[in-house]
Amino acid sequence: MTQVHHQAQLPFARERVFAYVNDYRSVPDWMFGLNKFDPLTEQTSGVGSTFDASMKLGPKTLHTKIKCTEWVENEQITLESIDGFSVSMSWSFADADAGTELSVVFDYQLPGGLAGRALGAVIEPAISGVIKHTEAELLKGVTGSDAA
């Protein structure tokens, strides 16, 4: 599995940042390449909530079903794939002097063989750009959100 870590400082209260990230309707607005993030359960937040997601990276669209496996209000959200592209994302929120310290751990596993190597050639060089784009869009979204 490949693991990517990122930390960012956002100049907003932790509760506001958490509320924005936790709202499934906002996820396609800030997560790079994500063009589908639809709930599969009535529950759309917290442990057990499940989503159908699609992400376009270069010429390839990756599909996965993900489930929230850890959720602590204003502190932690962890999503793990249960079908499709193997991925897990963990978002941690902490108070910082100037707002919120956001820590993200993104794990993914590419398929083996020729298909995995081809997909890796698309994904791996783009990761730092994806992270920078996602951070900028997240900042823009939280700035414009009415989350309290």
| Sequence ranges of the domains in the chain | 2-144
Q: CB atoms < 10 A from the CB of 40, how many? A: 15
CATH class for the domain made up of 2-144: alpha beta
Q: How confident is the model at residue 148 (pLDDT cuts 50, 70, 90)?
A: very low
Q: Give me the sign of the Cα torsion angle 2, 119, 39, 135.
A: positive
Give residue 22's pLDDT.
Answer: 97
CB 145, CB 16: distance < 8 Å: yes
Measuring CA to CA, how many Å separate 99 from each of 12, 61, 113? 5, 35, 44
CB 30, CB 137: distance < 8 Å: yes
Q: 40-87 pLDDT, tens per residue?
A: 999 999 999 999 999 887 677 889 999 999 999 999 999 999 998 888
CA R_g for the chain? 15
